[in-house]
Structure 1
């Protein structure tokens, strides 16, 4: 089986390759093609993968290329993990937003809109290339904003594009452990959009154990989301929100923390990743050791500003374990390629699952996966407060898609202005002009 990774010079690619090395099943991936526009990054990641593969004589063969058509042609699965504008673009997204007093996180608020506006045209081109050169391939989208980009690509690929994220997986695992349950067997009732969802129940043996957790202050304080949101707010919601909802529920505190921080997350990663790739260019640098060290620092500083705003301190050791998006990707591929039935939380088209949204809207819910793809399971309706937020953010995503399709500045301004975390149409107009000045990739927004 052939796998292509677009954004193959990305820092997290060794996580995916490590999962492939652990797969001993029949029909496993035997060839991995890495595609990237940056030759130095490709070379660095290929060296890390080569060291990973050294102890595995039957490791999947790794091929590198900067030719997109060559990378896509003949693939069985295509992982899309691109970052249009690089980490310099992410840092600019945060900087422009914070100058206007609003959030600039890469998937939430103004920063997410800017990132989506410059990413969607590229993602749509990829979708058309896949449709033409590998029509039987399945696309697994890692590219952020994951739900928005998956919905854009679905307009070309239909249900053959599936978005994944490790946030719901990590949340479900932490809640299960706090309850003394096995994360592998517990049923997680989770629903929403990407980075905008709620864990509303965790069933073990048919019984919902979440009420027991919500009643136990000590248990709530034992994991990251419990400390981040606080027991009183979680009890009010009757659910445990995805960590990214901290930007919504505690927006003023988070914006202040970001403004007071020495540097934003994007600026930190830009410097850290540049250091990693620069180090990898030096002869004699141990690839895998250098990558592991950099990964540990990256995970330890994740959402540091939010923890500062909440006063929760450093991350616990259990919280440092990633959600395992590479394991989700492997389970998804195995379920489709081998018809190994499984249930995963994925980003897929709504198909009537949430009545508040139309059938084509991409949502994030548990899905039954088989050889025919991912099928969202039936879920209970969202409460009004959550349904309103989901509908509002989906309306923003639709304006981003309209702007990307038409090149309309008016649609782009509307996307910014309608977002719950942008408090003025005037601010929305200044945001668009600020981002257009920073990003050559937004030059296509030429229509009024």
Structure 2
């Protein structure tokens, strides 16, 4: 099978290739094509992959190209992991928002809307091109904001595009370990949108173990989300939220911490990755070791401002393990290509899963996956506190899609103004002005 990775010069691509190297089963991926608009980044990542493949006799062949059509032809799977505007764009998204007193995180609030407005037109163009050049390919979307971008692409690819995120999986695995359960055997009751979901149950051998966790302050204080949100708040909710909900539940504190930080997350990653790619221009630099060191620093500093707000200090070693988005992607490919039925938490069209949303709305829930693709499993209705957030944010996503298609400034203002973390229409108008100035591509928002 051929796998094409769009954004193949991206920093996290070696994680995907590492997962492929461990797969030796029949029908596995045997060829990987890396596509990127930046030839230097492609060369750097290809060097890391070459070192990873040493002493692996059946390692998938790797080629790299800056020709998109060439990359797509003959693909069985396409991973979309692009970053429109690069980390420079992310840093600008954060700063424009923070200067106006609102959150600028890349997927949540004003920053996420700005990123979506930049990314959706590019993702739609990719979807159309995939439909033309690789109509039988399955598309796995990593591109953020993942739920929004998946929904935009699904309008052209239907059910053949599936969004993935490692946050829900990582959360479920951490909860299972705290409860002394095997994460691979636990069934996670998770529901919401991407970066806006809740674990409402964790069943082991048919028994829901989450009430035991919520009743035990010591257990709640033993993992990252328990410390981040606090035992009292989790007991009040009767659920464990995705870490990104910290931006909603503790918004004022989070904004202040980000405003007071020496640099934003995007600025930090921009400097870090510029350093990595610069070192990779030295032929003598050890590619894999350099990448490993950079990745460890990246993971250790993840959401550091939020942990500062909660007073929980540095990340524990047990918290550094993510859900492994590369492992989710590999499991998804296996299920589809080999008809190995499994259950995964994915971003897929709602159908009839959540009655408060329409059938086309992309949601993040456990799905049954096999050769026919991914189908959402039935879940209990959302509690009212979740209904409010989910429907409000979905309305924002729909406004982003509409503004991206129409070029309407008024609709872009509406997207910002409707978001729960933007507290004024006036601020929404200033955000649009700021982002249009920061990103020339958004000058297209010039219609009424």
Shorter-chain TM-score range: over 0.9
Aligned pairs for 1:13-412 (under 5 A) are: 13-412=13-412
User: Could you tell me how far apart the structure 2 residues matched to 1:339 and 1:323 are?
Assistant: 23
1:123-181 per-position Cα deviation (integer Å, ceiling 9, x unaligned): 00000000000000000000000000000000000100000000001000000011000
- How far is 1:404 from its partner? 0.4
* Alignment match, 2:417: 417
Matched residue pairs, number? 448
1: CA distance, partners of 2:58 / 2:162: 29
For the residues of structure 1 that align with 2:393 and 2:87, how far apart are their CA atoms? Answer: 24
1:327-375: per-residue Cα shift (whole Å, max 9, x none)? Answer: 0000000000000000000000000100010000000000000000000
Cα shift at 1:445: 1.2
SS at match of 2:363: strand
Cα shift at 1:79: 0.1
Measure the CA separation in 1 of the matches of 2:384 and 2:87: 36
Name the CA distance, whole Å, in 1 between partners of 2:161 and 2:255: 34
Alpha-carbon offset, residue 443 of structure 1: 2.1
Instruction: Quote the Cα distance in structure 1 between the aligned partners of 2:239 and 2:27.
Output: 40
Distance in 2, Cα, partners of 1:181 & 1:418 = 41
- Displaced runs of 4 or more, over 4 A: none
CA distance in 2, matches of 1:322, 1:272: 20
For residues 327 and 139 of structure 1, what CA distance do their matches in structure 2 show? 16
Query: 1:308-342 CA deviation, whole Å, 9 max, x = no partner?
Result: 11111000001011220000000000000000000
SS of match in other structure, 1:198:
strand
Q: Which residue of 2 aligns with 1:430?
A: 430
Helix, strand or coil at the partner of 1:348: strand
Distance across 1 between alignment mates of 2:68 and 2:305:
37
Post-superposition shift, 1:54? Answer: 1.1
Distance 2:331 2:58 in 1: 20
Paired with 2:235 and 2:137, the residues of 1 have a C-alpha distance of 44
Match of 1:443, SS state, is: helix
How far is 1:121 from its partner? Answer: 0.3
Hey, what's the Cα distance between the residues in 2 that align with 1:322 and 1:420? 27
Normalized against structure 2, the TM-score is what? 1.00
C-alpha distance in structure 2 between counterparts of 1:278 and 1:370, whole Å = 42
Distance 2:344 2:218 in 1: 29
Deviations 1:356-405 (A, max 9, x none): 10000000000000000000000000000101100000000000000001
Deviations 1:66-124 (A, max 9, x none): 01111111100000000000000000000000000000000000000000000000000
SS of the residue 1:28 aligns to: coil
Deviation at 1:199, TM superposition (A): 0.2
Q: Does 1:11 align with 2:11?
A: yes
TM-score normalized by the length of structure 1: 1.00
Secondary structure class of the residue paired with 2:299: helix
Find the residue that maps to 2:401 and give its secondary structure: helix
3-state SS in 1 of match to 2:444: coil
Q: Distance in 2 between matches of 1:91 and 1:406?
A: 26
SS in structure 2 opposite 1:426? Answer: helix
